[in-house]
């Protein structure tokens, strides 16, 4: 069962939706969650996670920090799982719009050896 949450107009026109008590930032993200859960039930993927926080690190390996707050910088992936047939870990993000912030974080993660797959 899904419920659209009443809200004001959002910047990228996505609509927050709640499916089985889980809040998603878009209908597209909620749909992908359903597909991934089905793949997990069928044994094609395992260790499915939502909203995985990945620390961002600089070239020296030290954690990047926001200025001026000094808080550590993270990338929050929509989904992470292990693809059983391929034998690889996957980090996936559902994007309608690739923001400048996303592109920067994706580049930082690429330098750390982490690839983000867009769906």
H or E segment to which residue 18 belongs: strand 17-19
User: Which residue has 């690429």 as its token pair?
Assistant: 110
| Residue 24 CB coordination number (10 Å) | 23
**pTM, whole model, 2 decimals?**
0.81
pLDDT tens series, the chain, 119 aa: 555 555 555 556 678 899 888 999 899 999 999 999 999 999 999 999 999 999 999 888 889 888 788 889 999 999 999 999 999 999 999 988 899 999 999 999 999 899 999 98
Q: Are 53 and 74 in contact (CB under 8 A)?
A: yes
Domain ranges of the chain: 2-118
| Residue 98 CB coordination number (10 Å) | 11
User: Which residue has 């989904």 as its token pair?
Assistant: 79
């Amino acid at each position: 069962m899904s419920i659209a949450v009443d809200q004001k107009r959002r910047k990228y026109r996505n609509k927050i939706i709640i499916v089985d008590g889980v809040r998603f930032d878009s209908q597209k993200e909620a749909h992908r969650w359903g597909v991934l859960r089905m793949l997990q039930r069928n044994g094609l993927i395992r260790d499915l996670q939502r909203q995985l926080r990945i620390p961002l690190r600089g070239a020296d390996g030290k954690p990047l920090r926001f200025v001026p707050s000094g808080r550590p910088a993270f990338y929050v992936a929509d989904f992470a799982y292990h693809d059983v047939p391929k034998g690889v870990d996957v980090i996936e993000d559902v994007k309608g719009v690739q923001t400048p912030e996303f592109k920067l974080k994706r580049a930082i993660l690429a330098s750390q050896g982490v690839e983000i797959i867009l769906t």
